[in-house]
Structure formats: structure tokens, C-alpha cells
């Protein structure tokens, strides 16, 4: 099974890296940039999992290790069952 996980800071959580990137883009002449939010991206491959369990299993990975549920939210996409 292959899955993609996107992890982002929740709205209202300070994102200094995103602010630095937005500032750098403006410095490079991209004045239209208002803000940037940074995140994490994971490609995960596992052995075979039943399609009915795959998404729930990856969500467990996120809740236990990949995302901090207090300040981050995540989105799971199953690429291959």
C-alpha cells in the first residue's frame, strides 16, 4: 500500500518558517505574496493492507507520530491499495 500524508499547522498557530519564506519571496520581487504556511509531506509504503483498513491505519500513524494533534492537522491520501 502507498499513502501520502500532508501535515500542516492549524490556523492561528504561529508559523515563523512560513513568515520567513513569505518575506524572502517579497524580497525577490514577488510582491503579490501575502502569506505562506509551511508543512510536512510523507510518502509511506507498507506491505499489503485491506483497502477497508488502509486509511484508518495511516491515520493512526499520524496521530501517534507524524502529526502533533494540538497544533497540526493532516490529510491522508491512499495512492495504491
Check pLDDT > 90 for residue 51: no
E strand or H helix at 15, and its extent? none
In tens, the pLDDT along 1-42 reads 999 999 999 999 999 999 999 999 999 999 999 999 999 999
Torsions phi, psi for 80 (to 5 deg):
-135, 130
What is the model's pLDDT at position 42? 98
Q: How confident is the model at residue 73 (pLDDT cuts 50, 70, 90)?
A: very high
For residue 20, CA distances in Å to 26, 29, 37, 41, 65 come to: 10, 14, 10, 19, 26
pTM attached to this predicted model:
0.82
Check pLDDT > 90 for residue 80: no
In tens, the pLDDT along 38-47 reads 999 999 999 9
Domains in the chain, start-ordered, CATH in brackets? 2-80 (3.30.1280.10)
Using DSSP's 3-state secondary structure scheme, residue 59 falls into helix
Grid cell in block for residue 34: 501575502
Instruction: Quote the CA–CA distance of 7 and 16 in Å, as a whole number.
Output: 16
Amino acid at each position: 500500500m502507498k499513502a501520502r500524508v500532508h501535515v500542516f499547522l492549524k490556523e492561528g498557530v504561529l508559523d515563523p518558517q512560513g513568515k520567513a519564506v513569505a518575506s524572502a519571496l517579497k524580497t525577490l520581487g514577488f510582491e503579490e505574496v501575502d502569506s505562506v504556511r509551511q508543512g510536512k509531506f510523507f510518502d509511506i509504503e507498507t506491505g499489503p493492507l485491506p483497502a477497508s483498513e488502509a486509511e484508518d491505519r495511516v491515520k493512526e500513524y499520524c496521530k501517534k507520530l507524524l502529526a502533533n494533534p494540538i497544533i497540526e492537522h493532516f490529510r491522508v491520501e491512499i495512492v495504491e491499495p
